[in-house]
Amino acid sequence: MYHDNDRSKLFTRRAMMLAGGKATLMGALAARMYYLQVMEADKYAVQAEDNRISTRLLAPPRGLILDRNGIAMAVNQHNYRVMVVAEQTPSLDYTLDALSKIITIGDGDRARIHKEVRRRRSFVPLSVRENLTWEEVARVEVNAADLPGVVIDVGQSRYYPLESLGAHILGYVSAVSENELSGDPLEELPGFRIGKGGVERIYDMALRGRHGTSTLEVNSVGRVIRELERKEGEPGIDLNLTLDMKLQEYAAQRLGDESAAVVVMDIHTGDVLVMASTPSFDPNSFNRGLSNEEWKDLSTNPRSPLTNKAIGGTFAPGSTFKMLTALAALEARDITPEMRVFCSGHTQLGSIKFHCWKKEGHGAQDLVNGIKNSCDVYFYEVARRVGYEKIAEMAKKFGLGAPTGIDLPGEKAGIIPNKAWKKAALKQPWHPGETLINAIGQGYVTATAMQLATMTARIANGGFAVVPHVARDQISEKTARSRTAPSWPSLDVSRQSLAWVRKGMFAVSNEPGGTAYKARITQEGMWLSGKTGSAQVRRITMRERETGVKKNDQLPWKERDHALFVAYAPEENPRYSIAVIVEHGGGGSAVAAPIARDIMIEVQKRDMARVAADTGGDSIAPDLRRF
């Protein structure tokens, strides 16, 4: 007994020691619990939410693009996609085989799916094919029972119902490339398209709208359990353009197969009503995906259908430039309108002979006749008097040599050369002869149709620096508000000088013998005043002059003159300006002027119809008293 008693005491003592140890360890557990659940609780709570909550973006519908009368130019179409969920299929290959009996699935698609299925979790739907036709959708739905794991999903894709009409203005949409990322989370969405080119690009942010979010509860492998919250985004702003697609259609038809550009704008507001560039392309084909052949056709066509020639094509303005030469001289008081210059068919500067387009000469010419007959010798003399720098200055005032600032991407600046430019660009000094050549819109001078229309508008509106635009509303990043009545800055050109120039332009198309007399508008109240231009693209040699200059139709297309015509109408109270450039079209009077006339008749007809319907009319046109 004593013996066991001894053991019992030892046992109790040691039990207490061990119990103490255990109590200490349990204290450590409690302390750890306190540390994790009280001191670090906030940190873990945040991590737990991160674990659980997954936010997905909802793409808002892209804003529509409409013309000034509400004709839809860009809309959103349902894009039916067929998707497959790998984990719901007995075998992916089996399902794809079954599916390919119903709709066509390319080998490329198949390879892509197999590649993706290995990277994605098995419950993530994989896109098999996009842009299913309604018939294909129906076929898949009917066979749904035999296609486990196959789902039809509806997305949106852009559709341009007018197809090639206005394609250059609209641009197109396509996937975001790496260097286009702006930080908008929408860009991360697979299948998200952004605007490329045209108004789709320049107003992309406004058209996109604001993304919505769907807050989802997900489990540890990312499978969605349920939606906790849904915030719809804001659809993109609908963009109303200043363009009139009916006129645009007429203009495009009138230009036909020519490689040409036409711009019609409101000389007071800067609204662009027509901006046609032919040949054009169908922007929908970009959405569908171009075949190599189609792309080759588009990109190598010498008439460059992908270029918006109205703002992206630069041409020598030819005689349409002469108004600026006249204005520079009038403003500098280096000539008077009455001053006469005798044209014998050519003039001499040093040892070089400068020819007039009319070999036999025009005889004595004053300003109005000089413009009316487009007499080169008259303008050689004017340029000689005023000097080239002042002409360049005047050209810039009227919108040449720099982008007009129209709300479209890809606008070219054109060139208004001067001594400094030549030295910088060509590292050559200025020759006196170049003054004469450039003064009649040849030489280094180039301009776009948009610039010429703007120039004409500024002449017609009394010397205000109107800037063209295609969006009816003032669009900033993500908002739109109506444009206020524009008050353009004055160009500081006297009304008299402008009136004399306009008198010359009136004579061009309304006095017998004027270069565009044959293309005059005879309808009362629609008369137009204009200026022809034929820009040489080749050098005429002395020998050719002796044997007779070749006519345009004897030359290959690439060597023919560019035909140009600028005009404004109606004569009494000008409202619209137009610029027509037909690349390698031949003579301005024979080719470009009739096109301009026809379009301007159409423009004014629609205008009259509108005025008849709504007698309010706008009265922002300044009073332009005629001489």
Partner 1 sequence: MLRPLPRTPSRLNRAEMSMRDKIWQINWSLITVLAAIASVGFATLYSAAQGSMEPWATKQMVRFAVGIGLMISVAMIDLRFWMRHAYTFYAIAFVLLVLVELKGTIGMGAQRWIDLGFIQLQPSEIMKIALILSLARYFHGAGQQEIGRPLFLIPPMIMVFAPAILVLKQPDLGTAMMLVMSSGALFFMAGVRIWKFVVVITGALAAIPVAWQFLREYQKKRVLIFLNPEDDPLGAGYHITQSKIALGSGGLFGKGYMMGTQSRLNFLPEKQTDFIFTMFAEEWGMMGGLVLLGLYALLLAYGYAIAIRCRSQFGRLVAHGIATTFFLYFFINTAMVMGLVPVVGVPLPLISYGGTAMLSLLLGWGLVMSAYIHRDIPISRRGMGED
Per CB under 8 A, the list member of 37, 69, 474, 479 interacting with partner 1 is 37
Verify whether residue 164 is a known catalytic residue: no
Residue 19 or residue 540: which is nearer to partner 1 going by CB? 19
Site for partner 1 in 569-588 (CB under 8 A): none
Q: What is the CA radius of gyration of the chain?
A: 36
Q: How far is the CB of 211 from partner 1 (least distance, A)?
A: 25
Q: How far is the CB of 287 from partner 1 (least distance, A)?
A: 39
Per CB under 8 A, the list member of 179, 220, 300, 554 interacting with partner 1 is 220
- d(CA 299, CA 288) in angstroms, rounded, equals 17
- 591 in Cβ contact with 535 (< 8 Å): no
- 92 in Cβ contact with 86 (< 8 Å): yes
Q: Collapsing DSSP states into helix, strand and coil, what is residue 594?
A: helix
Site for partner 1 in 4-33 (CB under 8 A): 4, 6-8, 10-12, 14-15, 18-19, 22-23, 25-26, 28-30, 32-33
- d(CA 345, CA 362) in angstroms, rounded, equals 7
For residue 85, how many C-alpha atoms fall within 13 Å in the half-sphere facing its CB? 11
Q: Collapsing DSSP states into helix, strand and coil, what is residue 227?
A: strand
Residue 220 or residue 351: which is nearer to partner 1 going by CB? 220
Beta bridge partners of 276: 262
Query: Chain-centre distance of CA 168, in angstroms?
Result: 6
Residue 12 or residue 573: which is nearer to partner 1 going by CB? 12
Q: How far is the CB of 51 from partner 1 (least distance, A)?
A: 5
Residue 221 or residue 424: which is nearer to partner 1 going by CB? 221
Q: How far is the CB of 22 from partner 1 (least distance, A)?
A: 5
Residue 48 or residue 420: which is nearer to partner 1 going by CB? 48
Per CB under 8 A, the list member of 2, 38, 492, 547 interacting with partner 1 is 38
Alpha-helix runs per DSSP H in 480-585: 495-510, 542-547
Residue 7 or residue 605: which is nearer to partner 1 going by CB? 7
Q: How far is the CB of 109 from partner 1 (least distance, A)?
A: 31
Residue 224 interacts with partner 1 (CB under 8 A): yes or no? no
Q: How far is the CB of 4 from partner 1 (least distance, A)?
A: 7
Q: How far is the CB of 9 from partner 1 (least distance, A)?
A: 10
Site for partner 1 in 295-314 (CB under 8 A): none
Catalytic member of 277, 319, 534, 577: 319
- d(CA 610, CA 70) in angstroms, rounded, equals 15
**Region near partner 1 per CB under 8 A, out of 3-11, 313-321, 473-481, 529-537:** 3-11
**Region near partner 1 per CB under 8 A, out of 42-50, 65-73, 541-549, 576-584:** 42-50
Residue 15 or residue 138: which is nearer to partner 1 going by CB? 15
- Beta strands 341-343 and 239-240, pairing class: unpaired
Looking at the chain, how many residues does it have? 627
Which residue spans within 254-369 are E strands per DSSP? 260-266, 272-278, 341-343, 346-349, 352-355, 363-365
Per CB under 8 A, the list member of 104, 177, 182, 219 interacting with partner 1 is 219
Residue 29 or residue 542: which is nearer to partner 1 going by CB? 29
- d(CA 258, CA 591) in angstroms, rounded, equals 10
**Region near partner 1 per CB under 8 A, out of 1-9, 261-269, 314-322, 362-370:** 1-9
Beta-carbon count within 10 A of 80 CB = 19
- 556 in Cβ contact with 343 (< 8 Å): no
Per CB under 8 A, the list member of 124, 218, 332, 555 interacting with partner 1 is 218
**Region near partner 1 per CB under 8 A, out of 40-48, 439-447, 587-595, 604-612:** 40-48
Residue 220 or residue 522: which is nearer to partner 1 going by CB? 220
Q: How far is the CB of 233 from partner 1 (least distance, A)?
A: 27
**Region near partner 1 per CB under 8 A, out of 36-44, 333-341, 433-441, 457-465:** 36-44
- 133 in Cβ contact with 82 (< 8 Å): no
- 229 in Cβ contact with 214 (< 8 Å): yes
Beta bridge partners of 475: 480
- d(CA 169, CA 451) in angstroms, rounded, equals 16
- d(CA 143, CA 102) in angstroms, rounded, equals 8
The alpha carbon dihedral of 23, 28, 29, 33 has a sign of positive
Beta bridge partners of 172: 196
Per CB under 8 A, the list member of 90, 119, 178, 221 interacting with partner 1 is 221
Residue 10 or residue 111: which is nearer to partner 1 going by CB? 10
- 395 in Cβ contact with 323 (< 8 Å): no
* Structure token pair of residue 343: 């044209």
- d(CA 41, CA 35) in angstroms, rounded, equals 8
Residue 51 interacts with partner 1 (CB under 8 A): yes or no? yes
**Region near partner 1 per CB under 8 A, out of 171-179, 211-219, 324-332, 367-375:** 211-219
Q: How far is the CB of 48 from partner 1 (least distance, A)?
A: 4
What is the number of H-type helices and E-type strands within the chain?
22, 21
- d(CA 422, CA 482) in angstroms, rounded, equals 43
Residue 112 or residue 223: which is nearer to partner 1 going by CB? 223
Residue 319: closest CA among 377, 246, 269: 377
- 398 in Cβ contact with 454 (< 8 Å): yes
For residue 308, how many C-alpha atoms fall within 13 Å in the half-sphere facing its CB? 26
**Region near partner 1 per CB under 8 A, out of 44-52, 152-160, 287-295, 554-562:** 44-52
Alpha-helix runs per DSSP H in 461-553: 495-510, 542-547
Q: How far is the CB of 200 from partner 1 (least distance, A)?
A: 41
Count of residues touching partner 1 (by CB under 8 A): 40
Residue 613 interacts with partner 1 (CB under 8 A): yes or no? no
Per CB under 8 A, the list member of 119, 162, 225, 465 interacting with partner 1 is 225
Q: How far is the CB of 144 from partner 1 (least distance, A)?
A: 30
Residues that are catalytic: 319
* Site for partner 1, rule CB under 8 A: 3-4, 6-8, 10-12, 14-15, 18-19, 22-23, 25-26, 28-30, 32-34, 36-38, 40-41, 43-45, 47-48, 51-52, 217-221, 225
